[in-house]
Amino acid sequence: RAQERCGLASAASSTTMAHYLATYSAWVLLALAPSAALAYSYTLPPAALQQLHTDGLCVVPRYIEPQLCEDLIEDMKMLREAGAFISSGVGSNDKRRQEGSIRTSHQCPLFPPPKPHLGNVAARRELYGLVDDLGYQLDSTARPLHRPLNLELGYLHYPEGGHYGRHFDVPAHEVVDGRGRSVTQERRVSFLLYLNTGWSGKGYGGELRVHEPLDAAESAQRKALGHRGFNVEISSDPVRPIRADVEPEGGTLVCFYSDSVEHEVLVTHRERQCVVGWLRGPAPPVDLSAG
């Protein structure tokens, strides 16, 4: 586990943990040392794992304790003051763009990590550890993940009026790296950790609206269309039935399958913060005849 824990990396930035250790060695060795025990037990209930495997979605209230929520919000505030956040975009790679009618939020990537003298380092250390453990719990034969873990992780800040239109977390087209090579991996499991406590029942908005997941045939058709040049990441199809509206109550963990669960963030009526991440794994081959 120690070697794999030190293998956390960002596929989006192609930044390896080796570079991470070389740049921030003293801090990282402290943050991710195998002997450093987590301050809290982060265990997914078996029923939640079963729900994810059967329904493509699970919601786990009180996954993290209120104190860590407060500490991570403090970290976000300090990083925002240091200029570490940028406006969130729409699309991927060279097609990424700013489009406020679809998405209004700000983000701070956590791989590569913020500079070690910024923010609440202890809280971020706890976050890295719990995400590492989460990856091990979410790995399955149905949705295999890379070993060592390969992930994207970041903070999201929604201002008052922030939102994100219907979309999928996996682009329905072949991704090519900077050298023109096809990327054989994709986002497999998406997860959100909400940080604002005292949100439920207040009418603050900002719910995660989850639509009925695609079945295997529909997912294959979507990817086949994507390979033919259609933009099917941002949804324009008829609205699928709503599976759930999840209130972003602090401490709640939401996990869903990245390539099949269409979702959106409803307009928030006050600022809210969360952690967002994607666990990556091998991309299945695309059946171009499906479209």
pLDDT of 5-40, one tens digit each? Answer: 333 334 333 333 333 333 333 334 334 444 345 656
Q: Side chain identity at 133, as an amino acid letter?
A: D
**Are 194 and 157 contacting, i.e. CB atoms less than 8 angstroms apart?**
no
DSSP 8-state secondary structure symbol assigned to residue 53: H
Q: How high is the pLDDT of residue 62? A: 95
Helices 121-138 and 46-55: crossing angle in degrees, nearest 10, is 60
Contact 111, 151 (CB under 8 A): yes
What pTM value is reported for the model? 0.81
User: What's the confidence (pLDDT) of residue 9?
Assistant: 39
The neighbouring-strand residues paired with 97 are 90
Which H or E run includes 101?
none
pLDDT at 199: 95
Q: What is the pLDDT of residues 252-280, one digit of tens each?
A: 999 999 988 999 999 999 999 999 999 98
Read off the pLDDT band of 176 (50, 70, 90): low
| pLDDT score of 68 | 97
Write the pLDDT tens digit of every residue in 84-93: 999 997 766 5
Q: Which residue has the higher pLDDT, 98 or 129?
A: 129
Q: What's residue 201's pLDDT?
A: 86
Q: Assign 67 to helix, strand or coil.
A: helix
CB atoms within 10 A of CB 238: 5
State residue 32's pLDDT score.
44
Which residues is 209 bridged to in the sheet? 245, 264
pLDDT in tens, 227-250: 554 444 555 567 889 999 999 999
Q: How far apart are CA 254 and CA 57, in angstroms?
A: 7
Q: What are the pLDDT digits (tens) for 184-199?
A: 678 889 999 999 999 9
